[in-house]
Amino acid sequence: MSATEPQAGSPALATMLFEAMKRLGSSVLPFVVVILIWQFASLFFPRFLFPSLIDVFWRCLEIFSSGTMFADVLSTILRILAGLAGAFLIGGLLALLMVRSRAVDKFLAPILTLFQGIPALSWVVFAIIWFHGVEFRIFFIMVMTTLPAFTFQVLGALRAMSKDLMEMVFSFRPTRIKLFRVMIAPAILPDILRRGKSISVTLRASLSSPNWSALPGVSAINCCSNSSCSTWPARWPGRCSWCFSC
């Protein structure tokens, strides 16, 4: 009986390995085809259109070995997070005012709806005209592009709270800090985390704007945008591998 068990189990193991290799091959094959096509195109097109993936690979090693780019990227991420945090705090305060007063809700809702329809690039133009410092420009753009979404998200979460549960909590006469910690924060955070689409949309719109081109860590990404692709190769010929490695 023990001699027949390995014979019966070996075909099943071989089938499982074959299926695993088949799934792996079907997942890796599209990337391999794209890499081969790109590398083949790099032999016939200029390097600023199709840089060689070998140059991209060595540029990646240079970035990881030097570490200077990590500091620039970290500073850019901190700027973005500061703007998002400011928009979240301001949006949360506006949502609290709107949920407590119907008059404030009727006054602020049309304004926030109007702001929500303004493209991010328009806020970039306003920031360049109105403010001189780059840091405050970034903060202003991030706040204005995400403020309506954060406000409406927090407002929707507050309105979705159970009124019976609120009345029960108020019967214990909690302090404002305890009410926020025990009742409001657990009620709104899951809904806000589920609706994180505005963050990704804002980041894509803001990183593609011309105002970010002077920032460390983002200039390499912005260099291959449509607005600067024609002039960038003349300034840094053959260095488009920087863009893809970053």
Contact of 192 with 154, CB cutoff 8 Å: yes
User: Which has the minimum average pLDDT: 74-83, 85-94, 135-144, 235-244?
Assistant: 235-244
pLDDT of residue 219: 41
Contact of 140 with 131, CB cutoff 8 Å: yes
Three-state DSSP at 19 gives: helix
Residue 238: left (phi > 0), alpha (psi -120 to 50), or beta?
A: left
pLDDT of residue 94: 92
In the chain, % of residues over pLDDT 70:
74
Q: Residue 154: which of 220, 87, 209, 107 has the closest Cα?
A: 87
Tens digits of residue pLDDT in 11-55: 777 788 878 787 877 788 888 888 889 888 888 888 878 888 888
Intra-chain end-to-end CA distance of the chain, in Å: 60
User: Which has the minimum average pLDDT: 90-99, 117-126, 188-197?
Assistant: 188-197
User: Whole-angstrom Cα distance, residue 75 to residue 241?
Assistant: 22
Q: What is the mean pLDDT of residues 116-139?
A: 86
Q: What is the mean pLDDT of residues 202-209?
A: 54
Q: pLDDT-derived band of residue 231, with 50, 70 and 90 as boundaries?
A: very low
pLDDT of residue 235: 45
Q: What is the mean pLDDT of residues 228-234?
A: 42
Tens digits of residue pLDDT in 67-114: 777 777 788 888 888 888 888 889 889 988 998 888 999 999 999 999
Three-state DSSP at 46 gives: coil
Would you say how long the chain is, in residues? 246
Q: pLDDT-derived band of residue 229, with 50, 70 and 90 as boundaries?
A: very low
The number of beta carbons lying within 10 Å of the beta carbon of residue 168 is 11
Using the CB atoms, write b or e for 88-106: b if 16+ within 10 Å: beebbebbbbbbeeeeebe
pLDDT of residue 199: 55
pLDDT of residue 90: 92
Q: Which residue has the tokens 């979404």?
A: 149
pLDDT of residue 107: 93
Q: Which residue has the higher pLDDT, 219 or 22?
A: 22
Q: Residue 137: CB partners within 8 Å, gap ≥ 6?
A: 127, 128, 131, 211
The answer, yes or no, to whether residue 7 has pLDDT greater than 70, is no
User: Whole-angstrom Cα distance, residue 228 to residue 210?
Assistant: 9
pLDDT of residue 234: 43
User: Which has the minimum average pLDDT: 14-18, 184-188, 219-223, 235-239?
Assistant: 219-223
Q: Residue 197: CB partners within 8 Å, gap ≥ 6?
A: none
The answer, yes or no, to whether residue 210 has pLDDT greater than 50, is no
pLDDT of residue 110: 92
pLDDT of residue 111: 92
Contact of 146 with 205, CB cutoff 8 Å: no
Q: Residue 217: which of 57, 78, 80, 69 has the closest Cα?
A: 69
Tell me which amino acid residue 27 is: S
pLDDT of residue 239: 52
In the chain, % of residues over pLDDT 90:
5
